[in-house]
Structure 1
Amino acid sequence: MEPLRTCVGCRSRAPQTHLLRFVARGTELVVDEAAVLPGRGAWIHPNLDCYHLAEKRRAFGRALRAGNAIDTTHLEKWLNG
């Protein structure tokens, strides 16, 4: 059975392969496509709807225990393509 993870945007549970992992490097979010980077990671559906929900709820800093001063532009650019 595949591990389940929770999306920080919509808060629904999904298999790990359906979500995108990201980690905080300093004050910037870094996409971890291979899910191997060290540190506390969080998961999100790879679409802009969940990204905007997570931003609205201020979930990025809370999920990573990094405070509210997180730069999410790199993740947003990755989701836009």
Structure 2
Amino acid sequence: MVAGSDAEGRPALVPDPDRRAPGRGAHVHPTSECWQLAVRRRAFSRALRSGEGLSTAPVADHLAQIHQSDPPQHRPETGARSS
């Protein structure tokens, strides 16, 4: 994820799945638990050194698309399923 702008030009957190966008980036596991925790802690503005609040809608939409197309996968190291 990188700091960018949404469709209306407002500051937003935008997905960068190929890790090619210029500037600072932030990583979060593509699970709803990790995403919700990072949003709750406001971790992205600190990680990206952005003084302003960033909309998280573009990345939330991206993660929702990922989870719609991929069934939960078994993680053998923990025996848990990601959701």
TM-score (norm 1): 0.69
Q: How does 1:1-81 map to 2 (within 5 A)?
A: 22-26=1-5, 27-81=11-65
What is the deviation of 1:52? 0.4
Partner of 1:4: none
Provide the alpha-carbon RMSD of the alignment: 1.1
Q: Counterparts of 1:64 and 1:55 in 2: how far apart (Å)?
A: 13
Q: Counterparts of 1:29 and 1:70 in 2: how far apart (Å)?
A: 6
Q: Which portions of structure 1, spanning 4 or more consecutive aligned residues, are displaced by more than 2 angstroms?
A: none
Contact 1:44–1:51 at 8 Å: present in 2 too? Answer: yes
Q: Counterparts of 2:52 and 2:13 in 1: how far apart (Å)?
A: 12
- Return the letter of the residue paired with 2:23: G
Contact 1:58–1:68 at 8 Å: present in 2 too? Answer: no
Q: Name the % identity.
A: 43
- Return the letter of the residue paired with 2:4: R
TM-score (norm 2): 0.67
Matched residue count: 60
Please, which runs of 5 or more residues in structure 1 have no aligned partner? 1-21
Please, which runs of 5 or more residues in structure 2 have no aligned partner? 6-10, 66-83
Higher strand share: 1
